[in-house]
Structure 1
Amino acid sequence: MRANNEGRPGHLPGAIAPLDVVRSLFFIPWFEEHLSQRISAFYFLGWTLMYEMFFYCVFAVTLTLPRSTQLKAVVLCLAALVAIGLLFDFRNGMSFAYTSPLLLEFIAGCVIGRLYEAKLIPPRSLAATLIFLASAVIVWSAWHTPESLLTRAIIWGLPAALVVAAALSFEPDAQKSPSRAGLLLGDASYSIYLSHIIFFLMFNLVAKRAGIVHGFSEIALFYGTIGTAIALVGGLIVYSTIERPMSQLLAGLSKPKAKMDTPLQRSSSS
């Protein structure tokens, strides 16, 4: 997907700039005022990968600390960066991205992980209710889109964290009776994640050309049902035709080749 360079000096709208490709390959975002997350990458979803790699770097550094202080270090580091971002109005891609309130969602993930280790995840009797309520808030937010990234981290991030935490309550049952469909979707999750926007855009184009979507309620309904189904099927196709064969090929190349004995070695061992 081409980067949107509208309004950027020296770039034609929709043009592919070599510098943008290089920066994306090195996980360096750039600032885009018109986007809700304010940062972008050569491939649109690439901005989320930049956050992911940044978190890995922070997490890797904290692994050098004593186990008892690792979670505290991650939380303090990310919280401090968010506080700096709230105090200063950054307009540079890296400084804005890595002080964004979206980092709070990584803190939530770390806390959920620690709660799971401590067996403090909500009981199954409460989990279904939490998932329903959190999902209802996310659906409600479709008609009340958060205006700021801090509000977004709260209105979208907190319910999403509750869904994850509550879903972990069913993990023991899932391990006892694993679902083949669920395991397949889990294996294909990265392909689904990277490709879903393409299938959504294709679905949106067809829906508009066919004139079957008019009001916002219809758009939300179609995207939430048919669009999601198409994105899942498309992601599974990408996984089976690209990711899995590529992973198998790389795994085969990385395996050490069996060392063959020479005739001299075979005769000496006999």
Structure 2
Amino acid sequence: MNRKETVVTAARPNPNIVYSIQLLRGLAAMLVLVRHTAKFAYPGHAFPVGQAGVDIFFAISGIVIYLTSRKLSWHVFVRRRLARIVPLYWLATTLALLAVLAAGGTGVTHGTATVLNTVGSFLFIPTFDGDGRPFPLIVAGWTLNFEMYFYAICAMVLATPLRSHFTRFVSAIIVAGVMLGCVLFCGNGDQPGWAPLYLLLPITLEFVGGMLLAHAWTRGVRTPLWLNLSLVVAAIGWLALAPSSEPYTPFRPIGWGIPALAIVWAAFASEERIPFARFRFGLLLGDSSYALYLIHPIALAAWVVVLRKLPVKLPSSLAAVLAIVGCVVAGILVHLIVEKWLVRIASRLLGLRRPPSPACMESTETAR
């Protein structure tokens, strides 16, 4: 065994797992969690860089779909995505709806809910809430609407002869949608009157960016470690200097998407040379990232209620740290106890031989 083979084996004990991507999932979820915690603890100083966690998630989504799904039949692809995404999201949305009803129609973290907003939340369709804001019952769920849009385009391509050029045609459709969105947005003051049009925003280009990174990676493209480290440093500087980017800002891919893609590539291209598999807690956090992402708004809202009832007022920094730790523990427990169980049940109901795993970049044969 030569030196290169030894390094690859040591860095990737399981060749079906891309460990760098798992760690990035955990990082992305933590960035979003810290961002939202800061909004509660330090109003007006809310760690805006944390928003880049979403852009990292979108890039990772493009990578995962390229590595695991571009050769699946369209119906297997759809069933796998539904089993992986829908059960926990519906559970979290149901909990949010119950909280809204208990509060007399006021959302857990925003505005007021409507019937249309509730239905759209469960169906992953952007709708306006009672205050005219384009967010589902769980505000963080706005990203899931974009995920499902991306999956719908992928499924459509897989269902046609265009599947032999999957990446090319998925990218073309998304780019065409963005171009149409630019025309519609410019003619409507950057605020569409029909909420689903938000899906045509340029942020969807980050999925394309992720697929292109995976395309290059599978063809053996790698960059040296010194360049990867330089990319991370430059990306952090870019994010620190970039203007705040709200969820539906048209120029978000420039301010947040480009540095997010740089961070993702830096880790991805170092997969065989850095033993990411040794970071066990980080990998567990990556496995739990979806649960943490969905559950943390509910956990934070509950923590605010607890703080108000405490006989003493905790310092903001201590309250924030306790909230972050509590959300991480809750996310891991929900992943291990609830999410895995729900995914197994959904996979069985949908006729999948194996439940989809967040950790495994499975071949098309084992994925069926």
Amino acid at match of 2:119: V
Partner Cα distance (1:162, 1:183) in 2: 21
Amino acid at match of 2:120: R
Partner Cα distance (1:139, 1:206) in 2: 33
Aligned length: 238
Paired residue for 1:212, among 308, 312, 315?
315
Task: Give the corresponding residue for 2:142.
Answer: 47
Larger relative contact order (Cα-Cα within 8 Å, sequence gap ≥ 6):
2
Q: Structure 1 stretches of 5 or more lacking a match?
A: 6-10, 257-270
Question: Are 2:132 and 1:23 aligned?
Answer: no
Question: Are 2:173 and 1:77 aligned?
Answer: yes
Identity %: 28
Task: Give the corresponding residue for 2:13.
Answer: none
C-alpha contact (below 8 Å) 1:138/1:159 kept by paired residues: yes
Task: Give the corresponding residue for 1:159.
Answer: 259
C-alpha contact (below 8 Å) 2:129/2:136 kept by paired residues: no
Paired residue for 2:217, among 110, 113, 116?
116
Compare CA radii of gyration and give the structure with the larger one: 1
C-alpha contact (below 8 Å) 1:71/1:110 kept by paired residues: yes
Partner Cα distance (1:164, 1:98) in 2: 23
Partner Cα distance (1:162, 1:129) in 2: 10
What is the deviation of 1:165?
Answer: 1.0
Partner Cα distance (1:205, 1:135) in 2: 34
- Structure 1 residues 177 and 76: alpha-carbon distance in aligned structure 2, compared to 1, 3 A threshold: closer
User: Which runs of structure 2 are paired with 1:1-270 in the superposition (5 Å)?
Assistant: 1=96, 14=107, 15-31=112-128, 39-63=134-158, 64-66=160-162, 69-88=165-184, 89=188, 90-94=192-196, 96-141=197-242, 144-146=243-245, 149-173=249-273, 177-201=277-301, 210=313, 212-213=315-316, 228-247=324-343
Report Cα offsets for 1:210-263 as digits up to 9, x if no partner. Answer: 3634xxxx8xx996x77654433331122233223444566688799xxxxxxx
Partner Cα distance (1:121, 1:211) in 2: 48
- Structure 1 residues 91 and 252: alpha-carbon distance in aligned structure 2, compared to 1, 3 A threshold: closer
Partner Cα distance (1:16, 1:53) in 2: 22
Deviates more, 1:13-22 or 1:151-160: 13-22
What is the deviation of 1:33?
Answer: 11
- Structure 1 residues 154 and 207: alpha-carbon distance in aligned structure 2, compared to 1, 3 A threshold: farther
Amino acid at match of 2:172: L
Partner Cα distance (2:352, 2:252) in 1: 44
What is the deviation of 1:167?
Answer: 0.9
